[in-house]
Amino acid sequence: MNDIQKKIIELKEKNDVCILAHCYQTHDILEIADYVGDSFGLAQKAAKAPNKTIIMCGVRFMAETVKILSPEKKVLIPREEAGCPMAEQLDPEMLSQLKEKYPEHKVVAYINTTAALKTLCDVCVTSSSAVKIIKKLDAQKILFIPDCNLGDYVKKQVPEKEIKLVSGGCPTHAKLTADDVKKAKAKHPKALFLVHPECQPEVVAMADFVGSTTEIMDFAAKSDNEEFIIGTENSIVQHLGIDHPEKLFFPLSKDCVCHNMKVTTIADVLHTIEGKDGFEINIDEDERIKAKHCIDEMLRLGNG
């Protein structure tokens, strides 16, 4: 542990702070977090965290999820500008128009959406819970927003339902191409290819395993294989390399870096816990209650 990490650990105990970190954060942040996970795991922890202050190291919609579930807590994000471009692709007016066009469809939102958009949705899903929740959902017709790549993956796993998609998605995962996969497989013929479902369908189709960030990390940890090509944000390559030095991990592309996730540094976390910096998340109570419904539904259907 370096001096900054030691100071953060000291202050979080003293000030009753819980630190949540998404897997796309840098390794030094993961080391001082109380919980590290994918979007679904973070939402579960947010619902249960006993501390009076939560620092969410990730992007803004994740901190909004914490606040929606825990309005009595102070919820901070170290850097205000850590947004998610996918979460802002649709606004409430655009979604209202889509709902008018598809009045019989239940609206399923990827959790990467703003609190305002969630007020208009029936249920949220994450990449690890989407297939399970859509299978269980009491609806035949579904409008899935905003990631058409994750939506396409779900459609193939749940062919019995009618799922409408809209065009939208993660600009970071969209950079990965089938050509990248062909080149990486030719270079590393013994490697298994693990991919996130936010990638384009032709990339997902070439995978040996498809899963969320923690599912990819768990798969690599348990697999007897020694080499892996990683088709998701490149911090996962770094974490896996540190956790399993006996195995080899190759990024599918050097360009798969989410700059929004990388804007938060360990020094920002220290300044936030010291009260010198950081951005507090506040959500209008009416909006919070309406948005909470679809997260509660996700936890109910996803946990069961």
Considering only residues 92 through 131, tell me which ones interact with ligand 13P, judged by CB under 6 A. 112, 126-128
Does 200 bind ligand SF4 (CB under 6 A)? Our answer is no
Please select the residue that binds ligand SF4; options are 57, 84, 115, 283, rule is CB under 6 A. 84
**Of 164-172, 181-189, 208-216, 241-249, which part binds ligand SF4 (CB under 6 A)?**
164-172
Which residues make beta-bridge pairs with 194?
A: 209, 230
Question: Taking the complex as a whole, how short is the minimal distance between the CB of residue 60 and ligand SF4, in angstroms?
Answer: 9
Does 260 bind ligand 13P (CB under 6 A)? Our answer is no
Does 203 bind ligand SF4 (CB under 6 A)? Our answer is no
> Which one, 119 or 232, has the nearer CB to ligand 13P?
232
Size of the site for ligand 13P (CB under 6 A): 11
- HEC secondary structure over the chain: CCHHHHHHHHHHHHCCEEEEEECCCCHHHHHHCCEEECHHHHHHHHHHCCCCEEEEECCHHHHHHHHHHCCCCEEEECCCCCCCHHHHCCCHHHHHHHHHHCCCCEEEEECCCCHHHHCCCCEEECCCCHHHHHHHCCCCEEEEECCHHHHHHHHHHCCCCEEEECCCCCCCHHHCCHHHHHHHHHHCCCCEEEECCCCCHHHHCCCCEECCHHHHHHHHHHCCCCEEEEECCCHHHHHHHHHCCCCEEEECCCCCCCHHHHCCCHHHHHHHHCCCCCEECCCCHHHHHHHHHHHHHHHHHHHC
Question: Taking the complex as a whole, how short is the minimal distance between the CB of residue 17 and ligand SF4, in angstroms?
Answer: 23
Question: Taking the complex as a whole, how short is the minimal distance between the CB of residue 18 and ligand 13P, in angstroms?
Answer: 18
> Which one, 6 or 259, has the nearer CB to ligand SF4?
259
Does 112 bind ligand SF4 (CB under 6 A)? Our answer is yes
Q: How distant is the alpha carbon of residue 45 from its chain centre?
A: 14
Please select the residue that binds ligand SF4; options are 53, 89, 149, 172, rule is CB under 6 A. 172
Considering only residues 17 through 36, tell me which ones interact with ligand SF4, judged by CB under 6 A. none
Residue 85 touches which member of ligand SF4, ligand 13P, none, C-beta under 5-8 Å by kind? ligand SF4
Does 180 bind ligand 13P (CB under 6 A)? Our answer is no
Residue 260 touches which member of ligand 13P, ligand SF4, none, C-beta under 5-8 Å by kind? ligand SF4
Give Cα separations from 81 to 58, 167, 201 (angstroms).
11, 24, 30
Q: Which residues bind ligand SF4 (CB under 6 A)?
A: 59, 84-86, 112, 170-173, 233, 258, 260-261
Q: Which residues bind ligand 13P (CB under 6 A)?
A: 38-39, 84, 112, 126-128, 170, 198, 212-213
